[in-house]
Amino acid sequence: MKLPTWITTAATALAAALLPACDVVNLPEIKPGITTAAEVRSRMGNPGFEFSNPDGSVTWEYTRQPSGTTCYMITIGGDQIVQKLEQVLTEANFGRIRDGMSRDQIRRLLGAPASKVVFDNLGEEVWEWR
């Protein structure tokens, strides 16, 4: 049986609104030096993206865009223990953006943008974060 469109839309909107609320419960439980990668995955779900770091660690991206205003990067060491947890959408991180940085470098710094707009006639792509 197919649900009416308005019910599906309402349920999706409710889930999107409640997702950041889970962060209030889950993030305080993620402790660098103690929490394992498996615990992070069970609490936060699969990351939106995984970045490999030169030291062998990986950084998992948990963006709350486009509805939210946060993006968490959780770095997991080779021993599968959390090394660092940070919210990267900060004025300081936006201030680190420089001319000539690649898309990958900016994505690594700020996480996935809330929106991307392509202007074909100008040959430009604009990324926005909330």
Q: What average pLDDT does range 80-107 have in this prediction?
A: 95
34 is a domain residue: yes
1 is a domain residue: no
2 is a domain residue: no
Count of domains forming the chain: 1
What pLDDT score does 21 carry? Answer: 46
Structural domain that includes position 69: 19-128
Euclidean distance between the first and the last CA atom of the chain, given in angstroms as a whole number: 38
Mean pLDDT of the chain: 87
> Residues 13-36: pLDDT tens digits?
544 444 444 776 788 899 999 999
5 is a domain residue: no
